[in-house]
Amino acid sequence: MHNLISILSKPDNVPIVLMLVLTIFYTWHSLSRASKNDAQGSPDEAKLSDKVQVWPYLVKVEFLAALLVMAILTVWSITLNAPLEAPANPSLTPNPSKAPWYFLGLQEILVYFDPWIAGVTIPTLIILGLCAIPYIDINPKGNGYYTFRERRFAILTFCFGFLVLWVSLIVLGTFFRGPGWNLFMPWEEWDTHRVVALTNVDWSELFGVSTRRIDDSLNPAAMAIGAATILAWFSLGFIFYFWKRKTDIIRKLGPLRYSIVAALFLIMTALPVKIILRLTLNIKYILVTPWFNV
Amino acid sequence: MLGILDTLREKVQKTEVYKSVFRHNYQDTQRNRALQIVDNVFLHLHPVRISRHATNIGFTWGMGGITFLLFIVLTVTGVILMFYYRPAAEYAYDDMKYLMNDVAFGPLMRNMHRWAAHAMVITVMLHMFRVFLTGSYKAPRQFNWVVGVLLLTLTLFLSFTGYLLPWDQLAIWAVTVGTNMARATPLLGSEGPFGPELGMKINNDVRFVLLGGTQVGPPTLLRFYVLHCIFLPLVGSTLMIVHFWRIRKDGGISGPDPDAKKN
């Protein structure tokens, strides 16, 4: 138990607790406003569309908010010192070595993917995908008020990405990862010498096709299985397209926007799929090539 | 006693100096309230009149404004910290110790800089969450959302580059873990897909450019310092100007379409 307290009381982990509390509160708050708006048919925000003067009605709110934030920040800064550990020493690696807390979700993905995916490709796709949102979400409804019914797919997808893949993985990386990046329950002691058996196998080996041949060269059959699996995953996008192409929404999206949505969505959902494959079947790689592994 | 103060105030308010500084008093008229906003360089970021729901903290959560406030706090405390901090490996850590132990209000300034930075990462994420949930990125605000995503990325970079500056174990190892990813960059990293095929080695790939060396060392400290104190704040401020300007030009914060009710 004292391990949990020592993690929680690390000054740099206070923000994570703050983030968790605020995220849960605001998720509940916005969903309850959305369900109220949906239930009554017209949004509450529309009832408050009359104009008021910024001085004093908005300036007052801003001033009070600034006062409150400054008060909290001042008390926080007086009561809690920013961490300052021993001087930098390149020859003494701490175990575990953790990135700043907001990158711990990405560091957690590193368990399941090679660095070129977890550390470079996924962050890039997150940024590009976020930028693309306004251009691929062509639903004109739900602009400027809380709603859930009018934008189910958009809100569920975003909440899954933000709450599950970003916030929860940060919490996992902070509170559940100890020495050697091994999984420790928060109440467990961190055992630096814990031994974890490496029982991971590659995807093709589930079907009895070994990744490498006896002379250690790559087995083309294994590569073919891996490539076929990945192709099959992304072909779900094509199958869905031809199944639903007559529907209004797909027709309005058009092939280009549809393929961007489908690609981003399939990449995002492949992430938890790989995590689950690792945790249940100990799958290391789906595809092994001489240049990169997936 | 109060009578004297009142006469004094009236006298002061009639002087040329006072009138040249404060052009408007607190007369409670529509016209005066409007002038308070448009005649003030800081307040004129706002329109004169907005719809009532835009003042509702339950709608906006105030997260964008709080983020901007924290940016100002960080600028002020950051400038003060710069007076005491030298970005060289032999001085940096000692300057931190000096700041925490001997400088008057040093710990307060440093703590406030660090906690405001962490808080800003949180508020910027929550701001994006709110803007998504209210669909505020929809037409005509599509591009402002993109500017916001860039600002979010810059906030993370600002926080990350600042993380190295204390030059303690926490700093170099967190930054080592973070920047190690760069060597796996496809094409541009020495360990990334097709990197070696393109001639990427540990001493010429993208990570080397970022660190100014093959590991986190004194050149990295200087690089991150310049990025943290000059380059990223300048880019961030420029994007913030665009972000705020566009909010105004797109009709203030989003709200339900007033014409929608009629249909």
CA dihedral sign, ordered B229, B230, B235, B241: positive
Other beta carbons less than 10 A from residue B187's beta carbon: 14
Lowest mean pLDDT among A231-245, A264-278, B24-38, B106-120: B24-38
pLDDT band at B152 (very low <50, low <70, confident <90, very high): very high
Q: Domains (ranges, CATH) in chain B?
A: 17-49 (no CATH), 50-249 (1.20.810.10)
3-state secondary structure of B113: helix
- Is 90 exceeded by the pLDDT of residue A60? yes
Query: Taking residues A19-42, what's their average pLDDT?
Result: 94
Please give the pLDDT value at position A237. Answer: 94
Residue to substitute from A33, A54, A128, A152, interface B, most B β-carbons within 10 A: A54
Residue B207 has a pLDDT of: 94
Asked if B48 is an interface residue toward chain A (Cβ–Cβ < 8 A), one would say yes
Q: Where are the domains of chain A?
A: 1-43+51-83+99-190, 197-294
**Residue B165 Cα distances to A122, B106, B110, B236, angstroms:** 27, 16, 12, 19
Q: CB A77 to CB B112 under 8 A?
A: yes
Q: Which two tokens stand for residue B43?
A: 């307040």
Q: Would you place residue B44 in the very low, low, confident or very high pLDDT band (cuts 50, 70, 90)?
A: confident
Q: Which residue of A has its CA nearest to B48?
A: A54
Average pLDDT of span A63-77: 97
Residue B29 near chain A (CB below 8 Å): no
Average pLDDT score, chain A: 92
pLDDT classification of A1: cutoffs 50, 70, 90: low
Average pLDDT, chain B: 92
Query: Do B170 and A12 count as a contact with CB atoms less than 8 A apart?
Result: yes
Helix (H, G, I), strand (E, B) or coil at A288: strand
pLDDT for position B2: 79
Q: What is the mean pLDDT of residues A257-275?
A: 95
Scan residues 222-251 of B and list those with Cβ closer than 8 Å to A: none
Would the CB atoms of B181 and A118 count as touching at under 8 Å?
yes
Q: Tell me which chain B residues have a C-beta less than 8 angstroms from the C-beta of A80.
A: 111, 115
SS3 B11: helix
pLDDT in tens, B162-195: 999 999 999 999 999 999 999 999 999 999 999 9
Omega within 30 of 0 (cis) for the link into B47: no
Q: Which of A229, A236, A231, A232 is nearest to A203 (CA)?
A: A229
Say whether pLDDT at B261 is over 60: no
Query: Is residue A176 within 8 Å of A167, Cβ to Cβ?
Result: no
User: Nearest chain B Cα to A159, which residue?
Assistant: B129
Distance from CA of B1 to the nearest CA of A (A): 31
**Chain B environment of A88 (Cβ under 8 Å):** 89, 93, 167-169, 171-172
What pLDDT does B260 receive? 59
- Is the complex ipTM higher than 0.90? yes
pLDDT band of residue A86 (cuts 50, 70, 90) is very high
User: Residue A195 pLDDT > 90, yes or no?
Assistant: no
pLDDT tens-digit series, residues A88-120: 999 999 988 889 999 999 999 999 999 999 999
Q: Which chain A residues have a beta carbon less than 8 Å from that of B133?
A: 30, 34, 146, 155
Query: What residues of chain A lie within 8 A of the CB of B105, using their CB?
Result: none
Nearest chain B CA: its distance from A256 CA (Å): 18
| Identity of the residue in B49, B121, B217 whose CB atom sits nearest the CB atom of A102 | B121
| pLDDT tens digits for range B102-149 | 999 999 999 999 999 999 999 999 999 999 999 999 989 999 999 999
What's the predicted TM-score (pTM) here?
0.93
- B5-30: average pLDDT: 87
**Strand bridging mode A51-53 / B49-51:** antiparallel
Instruction: At B16, list the tokens.
Output: 């040329």
CB contact under 8 A, B171 and A88: yes
Residue B262's pLDDT band (cuts 50, 70, 90)? very low
Q: What is the pLDDT of residue B263?
A: 39
